Structure 1
Amino acid sequence: MTEQKTERLSEPAAGPDPVDDAAVELPLGVRVAAAWSWRLIVIGVAVAALLWLIVEVRIIVIPILIAILLTALLQPLVNALRRLGLPRWVGVVAALLALFASVSLLVVLIVTQLRSGLEDVTSRSTRAWRDFLAWIETSFGVSGDQVDGFIDQIVRTIEDHQDEIWSGALAATTTAGQVLTGALLTLFSLIFFLLDGKRIWFWVLGFLPSRAHAPVDTAGRAGWSSVGQYVRVQIFVAFVDAVGIGVGAAILGVPLPVPIAILVFLGSFIPFLGAIATGALAVFIALVYNGPINALVMLGVVILVQQLESHVLQPLVMGTAVRVHPLGVVLAVSTGALLAGIPGALFAVPLAAALNAMVNALNERGWERGHDPVAAFLKGDKRQRVVRRRARHVARLERRKGSA
């Protein structure tokens, strides 16, 4: 009896065999996909958190980015005056005065030119719109009230969704207080970047592990060089666009050629979108003042200048400077405008150029092994402070001897 009971206990239980999880070997593709999936999820969460943080502090981020672009533009002037033996603060003051003079000149030209012609543009636009409504009514049998109602509906739709259209993740500041705060922050950041940019950079590097100092410094210098080249080349491209369209407008007898040229110059800093908007404005003024034939010729001038930029300046000058494919520029501008509105479109290309240069520098691994740039900078900075302290001491002794 006992033997039968023992045999029954030793018999395996009925049902399917238990499966050992360790014995299940997943295909290589599934394991690779799973490994990449959780890593991509972590990266996505980190990027989302970073974007949320930038949105929360956008009133600080946008002025600092503007100051960085202006620093890349003005730094060569400061360095040139420094090589002439002048103190750095003299170069900074000269660079700031040159910037303020240029901006003031553009503002004065726009205000003085538009003050005399804006009222006339408004009246002629109203008259041209009435003529267009009359032509629509006689040609297609559509009443002007129907067209006005359709236009009003479009305007109301745009107004209802203007936050989504214009703001994006980095909405431009709209209140006077935010504009003033951003302007002051940009100015102070620009001054300190020009005066002590190298010290600020190595201070930021100091938060990283020592083994990361050399590669990050190499990548940062490559990105900074690319941003500087982009800013200088973009000014040249914008100048060519402004001169071409402004001269074309003057030759065709289009009113307000100087404001048109200035707006084209400023709009060219937003790739593709800015050029299209300012070119459309030039064509509209030609249509209102000189009729459809003159507007078509003005449109041809705008297209010719844009083709010159796209097929000559962008590949030969901009492509060599920033080494970003035109398709990458289009995608960067579109993504930046989608995520951050106008600021995103403005900063998209320099950011893409900097990232491209930094990745290439890291791939080349051109930094010196075992070299710590932060430690070398701190050592050299300490030596310079000692030299300056001794020079001041010698100067005080000489002044005392002279007074005695």
Structure 2
Amino acid sequence: MFTLSAGLLTLGARVMARLPLVPQQGLRQRSDLPVRAVHPDRVHLDATKEAARAGYLALRQSGGAVHVRLGPVDGRPTPTTVSRPLLASDTAEQLTVEKAGVNGFFWAGSPQTAHGLETEEVEVDSPVGHMPAWLVRPDAAQGAAPGREDTWAILIHGHGSTRGEALRVIPLLHRLGLTSLAITYRNDTGAPASADSMHHLGVAEWEDTEAAIEFALARGARRVVLVGWSMGGSIALRTSVRSAHRDLITAVVLDSPAVDWRDILIYHATALKAPRQMRRLAMWMMTSRVGARMVRLHEPLALHEMTPEFYAAHLTHPTLLFHALDDSTVPPGPSRRLAALRGDLVEFVPFEGASHTREWNRDPARFEWLLADHLVRVLDLDEDVSSWQLPVRDPAAAPLAESIGLRL
């Protein structure tokens, strides 16, 4: 019985340790939201937590052959459904009464197909190979402020996500006159794998962001802004404290960032009611050289270097930190802690009623005003953001001729 219990404990700990490390592309693309009625001007959905949440929402069906953008909840047709206005259909095929997937990125496709911004498909040479990326240069003919193209924003998506996560902020960055580079990193779909084909939670992925900075510098960049969502926020933080080009990083913007991986892992293990011994064993497997071999990691994870205290001691860049208070994926506590430790550098912006990395969706105008105001101050830009019509790209904008429903 002792041997059996020890074996089960070890097996459970190994599964727990591997869960956040195995790449999971399309993690948020499940079709699990029932559509109950489709009208020319509105859609009725089951009143799930996601469907009933305030803010904007997009739905996909048939793998992206159908993509629609919906406005905030405007009614309850029945006790179990909510109504949302149908703002736009980005595909010829229309939404039907069946289950749909939620696209939290709201926009689909590329900056070219979603926003009409000229987009170059480029490759960043990282230590593990060529990483595909989107390069969007500011165009004064499309409303971009001139003379700022040498400030580059490096945009880093989250765990199980794609570079499409950046589609919500690219129009604003373009309007400010910044060059945007939305990158991929090791183990992404279409990108090379690491030696162990496992996520390292930012411990190793920051090297791909460093390669993106060097790509930007080779093409005329003089200042860099790091923008990261979720695990991308963790990658941005690690890059900001380890980069050889720290003096050129002018600002950091974080959206629901993974500031403390130990806290995140313990939070989810506790939610699963995992025994304390199993949690401790899983953490040992991730952080020790012997344990790393048991979960097939090429090297142990330096999670002790990914905490609010560590970043507080090493952070030198002005940082805008958004965090959804309803975040059940990455709890906001460590973000709040980092801001408390470094109030001189970190501006913490909590968003009520938003889920993980959905602050823009909750209130696009407020999100973009805060982001634009921060960048104008930190980058010393000659802009009066208060006179702008925000969000820069209207959520109800008509689809472009090339619009698609795919998450690329």
Higher helix share: 1
Q: TM-score, normalised by structure 1?
A: 0.25
Higher strand share: 2
Q: TM-score, normalised by structure 2?
A: 0.24
Which entry has the higher C-alpha Rg, 1 or 2?
A: 1
Higher RCO, 1 vs 2 (CA within 8 Å, ≥6 residues apart) = 1
